[in-house]
Amino acid sequence: MRRPLSKFQIVCIVLLWAALCYIVLVSAERIDGPILLTLAISAALVFIPVIKSIKRG
């Protein structure tokens, strides 16, 4: 069983994800379905482990 993430790790992960989303949205010529779907899937991949870690801690 893994240790829960520290608050610093959670903040870093969320900020890096937000920066990546910003870069993707700014560099896209137009925001369409595949981009939004990709961002939604990436949000799930980032926030599900973060939320589980918070609940464990």
Domain boundaries, the chain: 30-57
Give the pLDDT band of residue 3 (cuts 50, 70, 90).
confident
**CA dihedral sign, ordered 20, 26, 27, 33:** positive
Distance CA 50, CA 9 (A): 9
User: Would the pLDDT of 11 be above 80?
Assistant: yes
Q: What share of the chain is helix, strand, coil (3-state, %, to 5)?
A: 80, 0, 20
Distance CA 1, CA 39 (A): 29
pLDDT at 37: 96
Question: What predicted TM-score, i.e. pTM, was given to this entire model?
Answer: 0.85
> Which has more pLDDT, 11 or 56?
11
Average pLDDT taken over every residue of the chain? 93
pLDDT digits (tens, 9 = 90+) for 26-47: 999 999 999 999 999 999 999 9
